[in-house]
Amino acid sequence: MKSNYQSYDFEKSRERIDDILNTSDTSFEEVEKIPSRDKLTFTNGFYVTKTSALFIDIRDSSQLPDKYKRPTLARIYRSYISECVAVINGNDDCAEINIHGDSVWGVFDSQYKSQIDGVFSTAAQLSSIIDTLNCKYKKKGIDPLTVGIGMDFGRVLMIKAGYNGSGLNEVVWMGQVVNGASKLCSYGNKTWNDKELMVSDLFYQNLNDDNKKLLSWNSSRSCWNGNVVNTVMNDWKNENCK
């Protein structure tokens, strides 16, 4: 969020703390579908019981500034973030997209198993857009990116957090599903035994049989993993990236 300077008032700070800490437990409604962010205030929140989270980030991204000059580095990050956001935004069950450094992640409505399969399809598109980027990077003399992708299904807490009265606020997502997907993402392509896509067991159990067949059990990570691509996008790569 962009700052908008306001002189700090310690007395008002104490009042805001009391307002937050005195919030009633009944202000946190349990729902299955992610509500509109317009329903959030600084005193309520929602426990969303059926959501999926998907994370993607770059392996060894800390080494990139040592390999490339700033203009090239900016082009790598801009193209990578641009297309990851575009792919995730193309899933109409996605409620929110976040960018933290080179990590791009989304939260999705997942009341139905078909929606979970849709998140898995989005992950396959992400894998293929990385292949497409690497194809174009090669022509510019840029080394390929390696990424990890993680997915989890479960419950999330959705709140509005920030500086009340200032216009500075964000929707914050926390809980098992976000933490789980982030952790699984960190495993993707980390070792020779880790595939690109990492999926929690609960997410896996809700996939259709065809998608399940694309994954195998990773005993060292206690999750399912696989290298899965979008067939149409992969056909383009095969034809254009010799």
Helix (H), strand (E) at residue 54: strand 45-58
In this structure, the chain runs to a length of 242
Identify whether 104 is part of a domain.
Answer: yes
Domain containing residue 162: CATH number: 3.30.70.1230
Q: How many helices (H) and strands (E) does the chain have?
A: 8, 9
More confident residue, 137 or 17: 137
Is the four-CA dihedral 105, 118, 94, 199 of positive or negative sign? negative
Residue 19 lies in a domain: no
Contact residues for 130 (Cβ-Cβ < 8 A; gap 6+): 80, 145, 147
How far apart CA 100 and CA 77 sit, in angstroms, is 12
pLDDT of residue 67: 81
CA distances from 44 to 132, 155, 160, 188 (A): 43, 17, 8, 35
Tell me whether residue 11 is in a domain. Answer: no
Q: Is 7 within the bounds of a domain?
A: no
The residue written with tokens 């005993």 in the block is 219
pLDDT per residue over 169-186, tens digit each?
Answer: 788 999 999 999 999 999
Q: How confident is the model at residue 221 (pLDDT cuts 50, 70, 90)?
A: very high
> In this structure, is residue 191 part of a structural domain?
yes
Residue 21 vs residue 139, higher pLDDT = 139
- Residue whose C-alpha is closest to residue 147's, from 118, 120, 126: 126
Residue 55 lies in a domain: yes
* Domains of the chain: total: 1
Per-residue pLDDT tens digits for 82-125:
999 999 999 999 999 999 988 999 999 999 999 999 999 999 99
Which whole number is the average pLDDT over 156-170?
81
Assigned domain for 38 exists: yes
What is d(CA 197, CA 229) in angstroms, rounded to the nearest whole number? 10
Nearest C-alpha neighbor of 48 from the set 220, 172, 144, 164: 172
The string of pLDDT tens digits covering residues 33-70 is 999 988 988 888 999 999 999 999 999 887 888 887 88
Give me the pLDDT at residue 101, please.
87
Cα torsion 160, 1, 173, 37: sign: positive
Instruction: Please report where in the chains the tokens 């700033």 appear, as a residue.
Output: 70
In this structure, is residue 196 part of a structural domain?
yes
pLDDT at 48: 95
Copy the structure tokens of residue 141.
């003399």
The long-range contacts involving 17-26, CB below 8 angstroms and separated by at least 24 positions, are 19/43, 19/164
Domain span including residue 133: 25-240
Please tell me the distance from the alpha carbon of residue 42 to that of residue 118, in angstroms, as a whole number.
Answer: 32
Say what the pTM is. Answer: 0.92
